[in-house]
């Protein structure tokens, strides 16, 4: 695969921007803290399943103090429909305790501080920095990894490589919203099996070799 031309990159994101000028996460949240907890829960789970659980959870507990007060078993009752809920519940309680004791109950606007929280890795920190605080970060999930390689934006074998290559090729004007556009494109059009090329607004500039067979 050849290196993608800057003009093509610009056209890709112009089209995505035109189709969806103000993209955002499909997780339902009202505060940075709710977003943080929802993103922790979303690992290996769908946004739909997380939203169903957090609708009930946040109605009774949506601060570090109130979630911590639920205790381990109490928290599990709200998130037991989500995969890996035992581990996630333990991490969430640890994170709540750290937020209370180290950050005055506020979600830190700092990568190192975010990644020090239990259950928070680089991807989760990137989502919070981008969606809650407006930082031009790119949180690489399975959709972005697939789409970025498939359409020719990157040639990368690891998540970190995808993130770094995307930050190099995507014009600054598009970086704030880039990961939302790519996630949504991967979730609904450029799906893993049988991508919907006939419905894709990028089909004529995509590097995917089977695009004309869909």
Tell whether the model's pLDDT for residue 213 goes beyond 70. no
pLDDT of residue 208: 86
Tell whether the model's pLDDT for residue 1 goes beyond 70. no
Confidence of residue 194 (pLDDT cuts 50, 70, 90): very high
d(CA 195, CA 198): 9
What's the helix, strand, coil split of the chain in %, to 5?
65, 0, 35
Q: What is the pLDDT of residues 6-48, one digit of tens each?
A: 999 999 999 999 999 999 999 999 999 999 999 999 999 999 9
Tell whether the model's pLDDT for residue 140 goes beyond 80. yes
d(CA 105, CA 65): 8
Domains and CATH numbers, the chain: 6-23+146-213 (1.10.1670.10), 32-132 (1.10.340.30)
Residue-averaged pLDDT of the chain: 95
Q: What is the mean pLDDT of residues 142-157?
A: 96
The residues that are catalytic are: 123, 141
Pair 190, 146: CB distance under 8 Å = yes
- The pTM of this model reads 0.92
d(CA 49, CA 42): 8
Q: Reduced to 3 states, what is the DSSP secondary structure of residue 165? A: helix
Contacts within 8 Å (CB) and 24+ apart, 58-67: 58/30, 58/34, 62/30, 62/31, 62/33, 62/34, 63/33, 63/105, 64/33, 64/95, 64/96, 64/97, 64/99, 64/100, 64/105, 65/96, 65/100, 65/105, 67/37, 67/92, 67/93, 67/96
Tell whether the model's pLDDT for residue 95 goes beyond 50. yes
Q: What is the mean pLDDT of residues 70-88?
A: 97
Nearest by Cα to 180 from 7, 21, 48: 21
pLDDT of residue 3: 75
pLDDT of residue 2: 60
Reading the block at residue 23, the tokens are 């993209």
Residue whose token pair is 């070799």: 209
Q: What is the mean pLDDT of residues 168-192?
A: 97
Tell whether the model's pLDDT for residue 198 goes beyond 90. yes
């Amino acid at each position: 695969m050849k290196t993608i031309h800057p003009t093509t990159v610009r056209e890709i994101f112009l089209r995505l921007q035109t189709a969806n000028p103000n993209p955002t996460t499909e997780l339902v949240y009202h505060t940075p803290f709710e977003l943080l907890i929802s993103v922790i829960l979303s690992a290996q789970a769908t946004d739909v399943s997380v939203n169903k659980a957090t609708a009930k959870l946040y109605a009774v507990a949506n601060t570090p103090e109130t979630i911590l007060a639920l205790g381990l078993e109490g928290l599990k009752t709200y998130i037991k429909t989500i995969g890996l809920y035992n581990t996630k519940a333990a991490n969430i309680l640890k994170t709540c305790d750290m937020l209370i004791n180290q950050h005055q109950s506020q979600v830190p606007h700092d990568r190192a501080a975010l990644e020090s929280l239990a259950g928070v890795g680089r991807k989760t920190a990137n989502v919070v920095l981008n969606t809650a605080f407006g930082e031009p970060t790119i949180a690489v999930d399975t959709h972005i990894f697939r789409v970025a390689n498939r359409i020719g934006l990157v040639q990368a074998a690891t998540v970190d490589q995808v993130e770094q290559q995307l930050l190099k090729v995507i014009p600054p004007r598009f970086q704030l919203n880039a990961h939302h556009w790519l996630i949504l494109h991967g979730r609904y059009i450029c799906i893993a099996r049988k991508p919907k090329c006939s419905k894709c607004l990028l089909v004529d500039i995509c590097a995917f070799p089977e695009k004309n067979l869909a």
